[in-house]
Copies of this chain bind each other. A is one copy, B any other.
Amino acid sequence: MRFATLNDGSRDGRLAVVSIDHARALLVEGVATLQVLLDDWDHLIPVCRAAQQRVEAGQGEAFDPSAAMAPLPRAWQWLDGSAYPSHGELMDQVLGIVPEKTGRPLMYQGLSDHFLSGHENVAFPDLSHGIDFEGEFGVVLGNVAVGTPVEECARAIRLVVQINDWSLRALAGPEMKTGFGWIQAKPACSMAPVALTPDALGTAWTEGGVDLTLEVDWNGRSFGRAQGGAMAWSFAQLIAHAAATRKLPAGTIIGSGTVSNANFRDVGSSCIAERRGIEIVDTGTATTGFMTFGDRVRMEARARDGAPLFGAIDQRVVQA
């Protein structure tokens, strides 16, 4: 199934199902928002399935992904992992910090009171903060009890989403050194317009994540073509890590961290900081700058046959 949230002027928008080809959207009668669905999934999903059949049969209206809100415009919890090892290794180079290897997943809690849509301009106050994108995937959960074992955590995954975890790199290192994690370095994330049930990904839904190419273009030029299926920690393992001492409410989003592959010299990167890390490894100095006002970043993971899945994140950076 494919869900979008249409902008009706309210904070949580209006839930719709989207046709496979992304051509049409149909409001789900009786299920106002995605959070309402997530809070009562088993009871309400049949209503959504029926709507999905109707939209595939031609009902509904034209779907404009560029006008959609984030599928979940705000969430009760956003916990972002860092599950691609090559990303972590390059970031150690960039930040000059090698976090202690604990043998456990890395994860931070980020702001979740608003997720930007995939197409709105993103305003930042200051270029000196080192504006960077981070292309990644995430899963949206049902309720997870404290201490849920890994094998049960996979069953809590309701939806898969594609995220740009905006990062301010100049602020990241100093905040990491406090041990308290990031506040200023992590403003609001953006979310691609369509959230999918895992079955909609077919064989691309794997233990190692979304096994598709995440196409990242910076100012219209190819920047990264990393494969998403290379997670060293599965989403189920990330969920179990998060739920070890806390319950996770329905609507919690767990992120994969920046999609990255060991052959980064061939496939490129899903964030600028990684490229700077490669430059530091190669020459001792980072030469690629961060984003500037007017810059555009586009990210999309399509099906292997080119069909749309999440839709694109395609945003311009502007001055706040």
Contact = CB atoms under 8 A, between A and B. Distances in A.
Interface of A: 74, 76-77, 79, 82, 97, 99-100, 102, 104, 106-114, 123-125, 129, 146-147, 168, 171, 174, 176-185, 187-188, 241-242, 244-247, 249, 252, 320
Contact of A100 (B99, B108, B174): B174
Nearest to A242: B183
A245 B129 contact: yes
A241 B184 contact: yes
Given A124-B245, A129-B245, A184-B246, 5 more contacts: A76-B113, A114-B249, A181-B181, A181-B182, A184-B244
A258 to B, nearest CB: 14
Contacts of A179: 97, 99, 176-177, 179, 181
Contacts of A241: 183-184
A249 to B, nearest CB: 5
Nearest to A181: B181
The winner among A106, A111, A129 for most chain B CB atoms within 10 A is A111
B246 A99 contact: no
Nearest to A147: B125
Contacts of A112: 76-77
